A and B are shown apart, each in its own frame.
Chain A
Amino acid sequence: MTDRQTQPILSLRGISKSFGGVRALSDVSIDLTPGKVVALVGDNGAGKSTLVKTMSGVLRPDRGQYFFEGREVHPAGPAAVAEMGVQTVYQDLALCNNLDAVQNLFLGRELTGPWYSAGRIRRAEAERRARDVLRRLRLDGISLTRNVGAMSGGQRQNIAIARSILWEPKVVLLDEPTAALSHSAAAQVGDLVRELASHGLAVLVISHDIHHFVLDNTDVIEVLRLGRNAGRFDSKAVTGEQVVNAMVGGDAAVNAAG
């Protein structure tokens, strides 16, 4: 058990990716471990989204290896990666504002009645399952029957994350879940992220919010700079300043120190 938990479930090794002449990633490695939250930080253009898209199968790297549960895999695309148990929540959330939480959680996977019902949705069962999932994630504050368009940004973000959990994945990748949120809403998302890890999921979060989100809610901080690994820190044993220095590079670090 402990052995399993300390083994990474998803590892990228020596990943490089270019777009035309632009080198987005150079020889990047990263590990995601069950029960741990990894923060992926870096300046704009550092390659964070490109790395997440590589993990989610949207992009294929030019070089490098992808290991899942200890074996090297060559994912064919996003569907294959999702099938393995890796879910991604993108920044735009992909929610329907005119539907409620239950309908959004089950969108595309509705439970329906027999053929003669012409596809009648088994609402009660979906609602019960949605309620259970939200409770398990300590999201009882979210109304099941209210349109998500009328909800706060933090609640919407959490519904999008909860939706990825319905597939019972092993890994969850979150691209900037707190970018558009207030501090209190970001704190709600932080609670959820830690809750996911406590259930044994491996979580990766891209965030710019070092002081109010990353330090409090993650275990490991992975820094990217100009498409390269630029430091790995234990969130509990690092200051915000050290992380920022690693993000912006040597000169700034010297300036900050001196």
Chain B
Amino acid sequence: MTTQTVDTPTPTATPRRSLSERLGNELRLLPVALGLLALWLFFATQSDVFLTSRNINNLLVQSTVTGIIALGLVFVLLVGEIDLSVAATSGISAVLMAKGVVDFGLPVPLAIALGIGLGVLIGAASGRWVTLIGVPSFVVTLGVGLVLNGGQLLMLPNTGRYNLLDTGVETLAGTFVSGPLAWVLVMFGIAGMLVLKLADLRERRAQGLDAPLMGTVIVPVGGVALGLAAVTLFLDQQRGLPMPLILFAVLLGVMSYVAGQTRFGLYLYAIGANAEAARRAGVKVDRIKITAFAIAGGLAAFGGILAASRILGVSVSSGGGVGGGALLLESIAAAVIGGVSLFGGRGRVIGALFGALIIATVSNGLNLMGVANEARLIVTGLLLVFAVSIDRGIERLAGPG
């Protein structure tokens, strides 16, 4: 077999693909993005307050804790597993961090690192158990979650609460970045993305592959730049960019890279689709799965710490209370509404953002309309079922053709 390169830059055949196939891939987030837009338009007509800088700030910050936990869950869902202990992990990790600061006088960064470390350990241990024994992950992590709930109660003092006011922890969620510094941050993010996309473009051209500047660089980078600029302009009218949002955005960027550009990320998808094929191709399936659980645990812990910083304390209800409560359900819902399949192998990291935004929007908007909490739960539940149904429908249509 001699190698003879044919030097035409055209790719091999790209047949016209059906809309359903494209909706299953690059347009997967289109329905949820349109849904989000519709919700915003609807609430804007229902409440004068909805589209104010202050309210949008609230809404975005509301979405960050759920969003960060959902972001970690995406990794576990991609390999076809689930972690029902993420809310409990967020709770116990936040309590450990608070205990470190309040009882032992640890420096805040160290206490935060300890909390995240605990989350990573919990996730890795669950993952190890799932891969070693082969017990379904929903059972293992359900049990782990209850164990953690018990541990959380044991770690709390008799008052049932650690107060974090004036400990320094509150600055994590309470800091705003405004003015030129905010714009420098935004530029930094855009520049990072631009560098990666241009590197792709350069490599593709060096290999003689087609690489339209418009489609591969200008549209994606321009889209993200416009979005970030709009949010920054809008929020800068008030106090600037809230730290939780900045942290969520950074995590989204890093994790999108990990899942979308690296070998580890590819293996998540491969395992989710066909673990046996991945194993035969030499992929260390167990190790990848354990890492996915560890990421979910670490991000859940971070989400919990952020929540503790926002509400200035931890208590029995940190981490959603016993069983994970609404925090667990909304985190799973956020990932799934964001297009991540519960059956593994499908979905994107950025889906966690869209899902969390939808949930926060419903909650925030209905609240402004004066609708009771019951209705909010019902609407969120219906949205979840609706989103998953759309997703399944698309997947079925996009099957072998």
Which secondary structure characterizes the binding site on chain A?
Answer: loop
Tell me if A199 and B1 are in contact (CB < 8 A).
yes
Which residues, 311 to 365 on B, are CB-close (under 8 Å) to A? 345-346
Chain B residue, CB-CB nearest to A111: B263
Contact (A150, B273) CB under 8 Å given A121-B261, A122-B203, A124-B204: no
Tell me if B400 and A107 are in contact (CB < 8 A).
no
Partner of A99, one of B3, B262, B266: B266
Which residues, 120 to 171 on A, are CB-close (under 8 Å) to B? 120-125, 127-128, 131-132, 134-136, 139-147, 149-153, 165, 168
Contact (A96, B12) CB under 8 Å given A108-B283, A127-B207: no
Chain B residue, CB-CB nearest to A129: B207
Partner of B11, one of A119, A120, A144: A144
Tell me if A140 and B13 are in contact (CB < 8 A).
yes
* Cβ-based interface call for A182 (8 A): no
A-B contact count (CB 8 A): 134
Which residues, 1 to 38 on B, are CB-close (under 8 Å) to A? 1, 3-6, 11-15, 17, 21, 24-25
Tell me if A145 and B14 are in contact (CB < 8 A).
yes
Tell me if A124 and B206 are in contact (CB < 8 A).
yes
Residue of B12, B15, B204, B273 with most partner-chain A CB within 10 A: B12
* Cβ-based interface call for A7 (8 A): no
Which of chain B's residues have a CB closer than 8 A to the CB of A118?
Answer: 257-258, 262, 264
Partner of A150, one of B282, B283, B400: B400
Tell me if B203 and A124 are in contact (CB < 8 A).
yes
* Cβ-based interface call for A94 (8 A): yes
Q: Chain B 241-252, CB within 8 Å of chain A: the 1/0 string? A: 000000000000
Tell me if B263 and A146 are in contact (CB < 8 A).
no
Contact (A153, B14) CB under 8 Å given A119-B263, A122-B203, A124-B209: no
Chain A residue, CB-CB nearest to B206: A124
* Cβ-based interface call for A18 (8 A): no
Tell me if B25 and A96 are in contact (CB < 8 A).
no
Which secondary structure characterizes the binding site on chain B?
Answer: loop
* Cβ-based interface call for B398 (8 A): yes
Partner of A96, one of B5, B208, B263, B278: B278
Nearest Cβ on chain B to A124's Cβ, whole angstroms:
4
- The interface size of chain A toward B, counting residues with CB under 8 Å, comes to 47
* Cβ-based interface call for A5 (8 A): no
* Cβ-based interface call for B378 (8 A): no
Distance A95 CA – B207 CA, assembled complex (angstroms): 26
Nearest Cβ on chain B to A61's Cβ, whole angstroms:
23
Residue of A124, A128, A142 with most partner-chain B CB within 10 A: A124
Partner of B270, one of A99, A122, A123, A134: A99
Q: Chain A 179-199, CB within 8 Å of chain B: the 1/0 string? A: 000000000000000000001
* Cβ-based interface call for A112 (8 A): yes
Interface residues on B, range: 35 or more
Residue of A98, A125, A141, A200 with most partner-chain B CB within 10 A: A98
Distance A123 CA – B398 CA, assembled complex (angstroms): 24
Contact (A150, B21) CB under 8 Å given A94-B276, A121-B262, A136-B1: yes
Tell me if A144 and B274 are in contact (CB < 8 A).
no
Nearest Cβ on chain B to A95's Cβ, whole angstroms:
6
Which of chain B's residues have a CB closer than 8 A to the CB of A127?
Answer: 11, 204, 207, 209
* Cβ-based interface call for B297 (8 A): no
* Cβ-based interface call for A209 (8 A): no
Which of chain B's residues have a CB closer than 8 A to the CB of A123?
Answer: 200, 203-204
Tell me if A98 and B345 are in contact (CB < 8 A).
yes
Tell me if A125 and B207 are in contact (CB < 8 A).
yes
Tell me if A147 and B25 are in contact (CB < 8 A).
yes
Distance A94 CA – B198 CA, assembled complex (angstroms): 34
Tell me if A94 and B280 are in contact (CB < 8 A).
yes
Distance A96 CA – B258 CA, assembled complex (angstroms): 19
* Cβ-based interface call for B399 (8 A): yes
* Cβ-based interface call for B372 (8 A): no
Which of chain B's residues have a CB closer than 8 A to the CB of A136?
Answer: 1, 3-4
Tell me if A149 and B399 are in contact (CB < 8 A).
yes
Contact (A150, B6) CB under 8 Å given A131-B11, A144-B11: no
Contact (A97, B274) CB under 8 Å given A124-B200, A143-B14, A150-B399: yes
Tell me if B13 and A132 are in contact (CB < 8 A).
no
Tell me if A143 and B269 are in contact (CB < 8 A).
no
Contact (A99, B12) CB under 8 Å given A110-B266, A119-B263, A120-B261: no
A-B contact pairs, 21 of them (CB 8 A): A95-B274, A96-B270, A98-B272, A108-B283, A110-B266, A112-B262, A117-B262, A121-B266, A123-B204, A124-B200, A131-B11, A131-B209, A140-B13, A142-B12, A143-B14, A143-B15, A145-B14, A147-B25, A150-B21, A150-B24, A150-B399
Interface, chain A (partner B; CB < 8 A): 93-99, 103, 107-110, 112, 117-125, 127-128, 131-132, 134-136, 139-147, 149-153, 165, 168, 199-200
Q: Which 9 A-B pairs have the closest CB atoms?
A: A108-B281, A94-B277, A124-B203, A128-B207, A108-B282, A96-B273, A119-B263, A107-B281, A98-B273
